[in-house]
Amino acid sequence: MSSDNIHVRLYTGLLNLNQQIEREKRLISLADEKISLAQSIVDEETKNYSLGRVTLNDLIDEINKLEDNKFSKISHQIQLKKLVIEWLRLTDTLIK
């Protein structure tokens, strides 16, 4: 009964870990899209700033949003790597 309980806990833990890994992969993909869109916005704002249509504060705000998106992507990549290491540890495949 004890070994069945351990087996169920490990199985449930691996299922949850797999869901977290898939979630982080989706978040990284979304972050890539956000970075691409934010870069397009920064490019347009730079053109508009050079033409005097927007203020420097508007341009700086858009650049800050782009950098926030890049930071978010890096954070999700770090979390994904942690989760993969935990997966390898739980499945005894961390060291070969």
Does a structural domain hold residue 95?
A: no
Does a structural domain hold residue 76?
A: yes
Does a structural domain hold residue 96?
A: no
Question: How many other C-beta atoms can be found within 10 angstroms of the C-beta atom of residue 40?
Answer: 11
Does a structural domain hold residue 40?
A: yes
Does a structural domain hold residue 69?
A: yes
pLDDT at 20 over 90: yes
Domain count, the chain: 1
pLDDT digits (tens, 9 = 90+) for 24-77: 999 999 999 999 999 999 999 999 999 999 999 999 999 999 999 999 999 999
Boundaries of domain holding 18: 2-90
Does a structural domain hold residue 58?
A: yes
pLDDT of residue 31: 98
- What predicted TM-score, i.e. pTM, was given to this entire model? 0.87
